[in-house]
Amino acid sequence: MIDDVAPDVRTHVVPPVHGRRARAGFWLVAAVYTLVMLGGTLPIPLYAFWAPQMGFGPFTTTLVFAVYALGTVLALMVFASLSDRAGRRPLLAAALLAAAASTVLFLVARDVPTLLAARFLCGLSTGVFTATATAALGELAGAEHTRRASTVSTVSNMGGLGLGAIAAGLFAQYGADPTHLVFRVYLVGLIPAFLAVVVTPETVMARQRPALSVRRPAVPDRGTGRTEFLRAAAAVLAAFAVSGLFSSLVPSFLREQLHVHNVAAVGAQVGLLFLVALVAQVAVPERWISGRWPAPAFLMAGVVVFETGLWARSLPTFAAGTLLAGTGIGLVFRGGVGVAQRLADPLRRADLLATYFLAAYTGTIVPTLALGLLDQMINQGVATLLLAVTVVATTLAGALRRPAAATA
């Protein structure tokens, strides 16, 4: 069933608490959000161990990542908006349980199907938590602190992604058990995270029994709001195509083309993209985030420079491109979350945020799978060049498009 309209009985979403309890809940949700996103990138440096153990190549690596993105997309289309009716806390708790189940599967994985199942559950958890936690942060912060909510949400998202790749690389390089120790530690960390969600104030007051359905992505009403949102969604789609490349094939590129064999260094290089994106969101002037050209310029420059580094077999050039691309991704993501928070109907906040994140994760699926397939047919340089040209063309087209005039 496709449900493309708002439910007949709409929930009333207001912060039920103020003051100290709301502030504590805000930071608890932010901390757990960071932890969940951290879990999404823990597997990235570990493909170097799983591939020879399970006998798979680059295309299967991209397939495993695409299954993660598919789980995220499914969660955003089916489950994420349920929190507008069932409440934020139940969905956050369910997402943590899915993360725990995924972690257990990683611990017992001995073949590709188990690995795929683990990544799919991880994607479901990430998708539900991303939209629900972002909505909860906005409500716990209050209407007068929208900017703070957007900043903390994007910092939790990007910061967690960056820390996950770095942590997994360090555990794999220096720990006793490269593919298990980091997941054991993560599983233990989910216990206090669950308790934090339990004590967080609920922000959906008039809850209704949720009806499970596949929802058409929500967009603002016609006019400049819709145009502004769609531009933000297209920009984040292109940006996440770049992050998808880093999350799937960049570790193998670093080993095979740039001869980086230290797993901690590989994890740090991937994590660098996300951490730079984090810094860009909190350190750059506000006019860079709201401006028309800074985000596209950084993203396109980064893609050109790191692609040059791959062709020239130059790690410093590749690292410079990573810094530029990470800045672009951070600016695009922060700006888009701000647009979504500002345009969202308070009664369907998670719906619009789910659509924004749906665009982001859709940007990782098709390009990443196409890149893995092309890698089997042609050399890696040509495959990544095609992706680079596509990202630059899409980003440039979006930046050149003039805003629509306001309509009555």
Q: Is the pLDDT of residue 11 over 60?
A: no
Write the DSSP string, 300-314: HHHHHHHHHHHHHT-
Angle (CA) 230-119-90 rounded to 5° is 70
Q: Which residues of 358-376 are buried (b: 16+ CB within 10 A; e: fewer)?
A: bbbbbbbbebbbbbbebbe
Round to the nearest angstrom and report the end-to-end CA distance of the chain: 33
| Lowest-pLDDT range of 12-21, 284-293, 341-350 | 12-21
pLDDT of 17 > 70? The answer is no
What is the spatial distance between Cα 224 and Cα 366, in angstroms, rounded to a whole number? 29
Fold of 13-206+216-400: Growth Hormone; Chain: A; (1.20.1250)
Q: Which residue has the higher pLDDT, 300 or 150?
A: 300
Reduce the secondary structure of 366-408 to three states and give it as a string.
Answer: HHHHHHHHHHHHCCHHHHHHHHHHHHHHHHHHHHHCCCCCCCC
The pLDDT of residue 407 is 39
> Cβ distance 213 to 66 under 8 Å?
no
Q: What is the pLDDT of residue 155?
A: 86
* CB-based contacts of 278, cutoff 8 Å, min separation 6: 154, 155, 158, 159, 162, 330
Secondary structure (DSSP) of 173-230 = HHSSSTTTHHHHHHHHHHHHHHHHHHHSPP-B-S-------EEPPP-PPTTHHHHHHH
pLDDT score for 223: 67
Q: What are the pLDDT digits (tens) for 258-315?
A: 888 899 999 998 999 999 998 988 888 888 887 778 888 999 999 999 889 888 889 9
Tokens 């153990």 identify what position?
53
Token look-up 């002037």 returns 285
Over residues 69-76, the mean pLDDT reads 87
pLDDT, mean of residues 30-47: 94
Higher per-residue pLDDT: 293 or 104? 104
- Whether residue 403 has pLDDT greater than 90: no
What gap in Å lies between CA 190 and CA 121, rounded to an integer? 15
pLDDT of residue 362: 83
What is the per-residue pLDDT across 167-201, written as a single tens digit (0 to 9) for each?
999 999 999 899 999 999 999 999 999 999 999 98
Lookup: tokens for 311:
């062709």
Distance (Å, rounded) from C-alpha 395 to C-alpha 408?
29
| β-sheet bridge partners, residue 150 | none
Rounded average pLDDT over 206-232: 72
> What pLDDT digit, counting tens, does each position of 73-82 carry?
888 888 867 8
Please state the three-class secondary structure of 3-19 as a single string.
Answer: ECCCCCCCCCECCCCCC
**Residue (of 280, 328, 289, 331) closest to 306 by Cα position:** 328
pLDDT in tens, 367-383: 777 777 776 777 667 77
Q: Which sequence spans correspond to the domains of the chain?
A: 13-206+216-400
Which span out of 41-45, 206-210, 219-223, 398-402 was modeled with the highest average pLDDT? 41-45
**In this model, does residue 244 exceed pLDDT 70?**
yes
Compute the distance between CA of residue 222 and CA of residue 6 in angstroms, rounded to an integer.
16
Q: Which of 270, 202, 277 is nearest to 44 (CA)?
A: 270
Q: In the structure encoding, which two tokens stand for residue 104, read together?
A: 């257990």
Q: Which residue has the higher pLDDT, 205 or 285?
A: 285
Q: Is the model's pLDDT at 359 over the cut of 60? A: yes
- pLDDT for 92 equals 94
Q: How far apart are alpha carbons 240 and 330 in whole angstroms? A: 10
The pLDDT score that the predictor gives to residue 1 is 31
pTM more than 0.75: yes
pLDDT at position 267: 93
- Name, in order, each residue with C-beta under 8 angstroms of 173's C-beta and a sequence gap of 6 or more: 262, 263, 264, 267
User: pLDDT value at position 125?
Assistant: 95
What pLDDT is recorded for position 221?
Answer: 73
Per-residue pLDDT band for 215 (boundaries 50, 70, 90) equals low
